[in-house]
């Protein structure tokens, strides 16, 4: 798994109203895109594994996926409709130690 030291951003903090991105979302997208390594992804259907290190027990795991996944699809040039399986884990960590880990594999490939 690849891990980057960035606090996950919830969808609740990403948009004002229906479709207006917040400054916080734009800053998050820039930071994450900068920190992501170069990768070559498999073609076709994908399986993703996410691990979100959060300092708040109240963080909603599925709420953290969208913002991060949008940056991944932009950076690596895939449409997130190619994802056929997700695995998500939330880990509570001390404040200041937040992170996101991920891996992207072929859906047909064994875990």
Q: Name the DSSP letter for residue 38.
A: P
Q: Is 84 a member of any domain?
A: yes
CATH of the domain at 71: 3.30.1330.70
Alpha carbons 82 and 73: distance in angstroms, whole number: 10
- Three-state DSSP class for residue 100: strand
Alpha carbons 86 and 111: distance in angstroms, whole number: 12
Which domain range does residue 84 map to? Answer: 2-106
Give me the number of domains the chain comprises: 1
Edge-to-edge strand ranges of the sheet holding 46-54? 2-4, 99-106, 46-54, 83-92
- In this prediction the pTM is 0.80
11/7: higher pLDDT:
7
Residue 41: φ, ψ to 5°: -95, 155
Per-residue model confidence as pLDDT tens digits over 11-54: 767 776 667 788 899 999 999 999 999 999 999 999 999 999 99
Q: Is 36 a member of any domain?
A: yes
Q: Is 56 a member of any domain?
A: yes
* 46-54/15-16 β-pairing: unpaired
Question: Which residues are paired to 16 by β-bridges?
Answer: 20
Q: Is 72 a member of any domain?
A: yes
């Amino acid at each position: 798994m690849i891990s980057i030291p960035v606090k996950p951003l919830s969808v609740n903090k990403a948009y004002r109203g229906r479709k207006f991105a917040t400054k916080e979302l734009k800053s998050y997208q820039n930071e994450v895109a900068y920190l992501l390594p170069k990768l070559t992804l498999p073609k076709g259907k994908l399986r993703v594994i996410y691990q979100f290190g959060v300092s708040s027990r109240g963080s909603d795991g599925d709420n953290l996926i969208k913002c991060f996944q949008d940056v991944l699809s932009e950076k690596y040039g895939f449409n997130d409709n190619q994802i056929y399986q997700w695995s998500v884990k939330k880990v509570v960590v001390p404040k200041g130690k937040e992170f996101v880990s991920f891996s992207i594999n072929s859906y047909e490939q064994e875990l």
